Amino acid sequence: MDNEIHNFKRKVHAIPIPEDKLDTAITKTISTSRKKNRKLYYLIATAATLMIILFSSAFVSPVMAKILSQVPLIGSVLSYFDTGLEHASNEGFVTKIGETYVSQDIPVTITEVYYDDFRLVVGYTIPNVDDLGVFEALDTEVKLGIDNQTVTSMSSHSTLKGDQVIGTIETTATLPNSFALDVSFSEIFHTKGDWNFRIPVTKNTNTLAYEVGKTKEANNYKFEVFSIQLGPSGTKIHMELDMPLGDDTAYDFLVYNHYGNRLESIDYTKKIIPLLKFDKQVLKMNALFEPLQDNLITIVPVIDEKGTIIELEELAIEVDLSTIKGQEVSNKIMGFGLREDKVDKKTYFMDYMVEEVASEMGLQLGEYFKAELPIFNLDLAMDFQKEQEINNQTVVNPIVIIEKKSGEKGYVVYKTEDGVNHIFQVQLKDENWIIEDSFTLQGKMIGDLEMSYNKE
């Protein structure tokens, strides 16, 4: 037992960091074969109506004709963003929409929708009509709603693909099984407007939950897999890792199928809970990986040591799902992820943090736009991802604000529970973003923000 943790780590082997891990930061209604004939009829009727409307508009306005000529043919936007959505699309679970709305001479097309027990995702495209740069082209304001209630915990991801902006709007909030979804864009390309869509949505319920309850222990560490859920768009795993109190190692988890192929990580939430009474801390994690194509799965805790992933093989857990009876997923959460006429907590915290920093630094926020970490080059974005994992107190995730005028300088900001705003000044040089300076500013503590949010 001498120098246990050193010997423990030395026994495992190292493999390179997967670049696709970054996809988890960068930052989904269902059709079945029985509905294909009815759906085909509906699409033909819709397309005919749309053609009449579009040709009529084009005849009246030459400008509109030019704009509509740039509306793309409907493709699978969702498939572009992760393997889970690609699989769901290939299996016919994604609902094609193909609805276009024009405001301020800018057409927006909702391409498709997917909704299951893991997430709701909407795909969209916008022609880059003025050949804008990446920063301006990706600057959009959008929200989701159900019966005049705002969907909480929403995120939006977009990229330039050729002369099109393609993107997704996603939420993991708990929602009803079926509803009419409102998608509303309020600003595109720095232009205010109203792009409003109402889309019927029904959940894909082809998800099975498996109660696993397997544990592995080695030295002062215990790894437990509680449950695994299999759905068309992914494999969701609920797990925990017990470790000595004060361990600041950045832990993660890799998943392998029966053939030894690693499943791509799509998204995750994790939190470290200190248990002072037991002199330990617990890393709780819910992670979504690409869909599993067989019954065998192996989950391995890993650590990151200076750019090298080290697998903790003594803690690896193998699960044969063919030996466990899968159950339908039941929603035990009371209420839905909706809030009437009120911004969700995540957005409230983010906006407050950005405004707080801007006020302290004398920045005019109208001269900046918000973005996400993937706007940077891979290395810099990975650095901030590691920073976030190492700092267990991170509450408000990193937000990038880029100067609109130059598009070449800005700041990255995140807040920890003690209210400290961590600020990094970044600059674009030789087509690469670099950190030029970093500092902190004391702001409102998370507890006080919670109180302010609840009052509002």
For residue 46, the model assigns a pLDDT of 38
The per-residue pLDDT for range 8-17, each reduced to its tens digit, is 444 433 334 4
For residue 12, the model assigns a pLDDT of 37
What is the rounded distance in angstroms from the CA atom of residue 27 to the CA atom of residue 414? 16
| Residue 438 scores a pLDDT above 60 | yes
Q: Where are the domains of the chain?
A: 4-23+206-328, 33-202, 343-455
| Residue 101 scores a pLDDT above 50 | yes
- Note the CATH number of domain 33-202: 2.60.40.1630
| Residue 251 scores a pLDDT above 50 | yes
Three-state secondary structure readout of 36-74: HHHHHHHHHHHHHHHHHHHHHHHHHCHHHHHHHCCCCCC
CB 110 within 8 A of CB 199: yes
Lowest-confidence segment of 166-170, 231-235, 391-395 by average pLDDT: 391-395
Q: Report pTM.
A: 0.61
For residue 374, the model assigns a pLDDT of 66
Of 145, 89, 81, 29, the residue nearest 288 (C-alpha):
81
CB 170 within 8 A of CB 154: yes
Lowest-confidence segment of 56-60, 81-85, 98-102, 440-444 by average pLDDT: 56-60
CB 139 within 8 A of CB 156: no
Domain 4-23+206-328 and domain 33-202 have a common topology? yes
What is the rounded distance in angstroms from the CA atom of residue 423 to the CA atom of residue 441? 8
| Fold annotation for 4-23+206-328 | Immunoglobulin-like (2.60.40)
CB 192 within 8 A of CB 285: no
| Residue 261 scores a pLDDT above 50 | yes
Q: Between these two residues, 187 and 386, which has the higher pLDDT value? A: 187
CB 161 within 8 A of CB 80: yes
For residue 128, the model assigns a pLDDT of 85
Confidence class for position 210, pLDDT limits 50, 70, 90: very high
| Residue 349 scores a pLDDT above 70 | yes
CB 173 within 8 A of CB 345: no
The per-residue pLDDT for range 330-339, each reduced to its tens digit, is 654 445 555 5
| Residue 373 scores a pLDDT above 50 | yes
Query: b/e for 21-31, b at 16 or more Cβ within 10 A?
Result: bbbbbebbbbb
